[in-house]
Amino acid sequence: MTHASPTPLSIAVLGIGMMGFPMARRLCEAGHRVFAWNRSRPKADRLQPFGAEVSDTPAQAVALADIVICLLEDGSIVESVLFEQGTTGGLRPGTLVIDMSSIQPRQARDHAARLAAIGVSHLDAPVSGGTVGAEAGTLAIMAGGKPADFERALPVFEHLGRATHVGPHGAGQLAKLANQMIVGITIGAVAEALLLCEKGGADMGKVKQAISGGFADSRILQVHGQRMIERDFAKRGAVAVQLKDMRNALTTASEIGFEAPITALFEQLFAQAADHGLADLDHSALFMELASRNGMR
């Protein structure tokens, strides 16, 4: 149950998609004044029954906001919305912009510096937990920026999930990349192991049951492993998005002089899965790419 905030804030939410809608709805239900903007307005209009005020432009949405939350597709779209569509002109000095999109750390640092130049604070605070976590308010929130700005954001974060301040500007995005690296690589490990068992004559479902609770257990084994067993690859987190995350991780690794051979291998595997028509399936569909290599599809 979301409780009303003792001091309601004015919050603009830019991007009312699969994540933005449930997160903005929770902020409405908590008693905050929410200004919603989305490129296609009907998606934002869905928030009106919950009390949100829908804006025609991002600049209009941020004009009265204490806090601005971005939930946009990638770094180039965040850049366009913030700096090319008049939004900065609508921001008041002292506003806090919380970018909860998943973008490159370098982009987050650049945005923070450009906003600081006009007296606007910034946190990069990407999330993990998907639409289920967004609806339940149980997201893992990884925040980069100044400690004082993180403290200021806590009354917002408390309605969305569990927030951790992980370092300076860009560090939130680094933590998100770490999360996505572990997710993508572990999906591959689970898929390859289960397929080996099936090829050798064992029951995949029974193998999953046998190793549950042991050292190899994980959320990925339980959730994605079950999807593999059931051949249920309806999109929750897409192969295409996982591939984007692996590429962002490799770009960042290159920028800081870090060698990431495991991530590089999985970037190739997810790229091949996308090339073979799996891009819009769930990222657990890497299983299908590995199955087809072994004549098991």
DSSP β-ladder status, 127-128 and 139-144: antiparallel
Environment class of 151 (CB within 10 Å of its CB; exposed 0-12, middle 13-18, buried 19+): exposed
Give dist(CA 211, CA 28) in Å, integer. Answer: 43
Q: CA angle, corner 167, sides to 163 and 171, nearest 5?
A: 85
Q: Which residue in the block uniquely carries the two structure tokens 């650049």?
A: 110
What's the CA dihedral at 173, 177, 178, 182 to 10 degrees? 150
Alpha-helical segments (H) within 35-146: 41-45, 58-62, 75-79, 87-90, 105-116, 130-136
Half-sphere exposure of 199 (CA within 13 A, CB side): 14
Query: 76: Cβ–Cβ under 8 A, 6 or more apart, which residues?
Result: none
Environment class of 77 (CB within 10 Å of its CB; exposed 0-12, middle 13-18, buried 19+): middle
Q: Which of 43, 146, 176, 208 is catalytic?
A: 176
Give dist(CA 109, CA 116) in Å, integer. Answer: 11
Choose among 60, 47, 76: nearest CA to 68.
60
The H or E element that residue 63 is part of is: none
Is 235 among the residues known to form the active site? no
Q: Which residues are part of the catalytic machinery?
A: 176
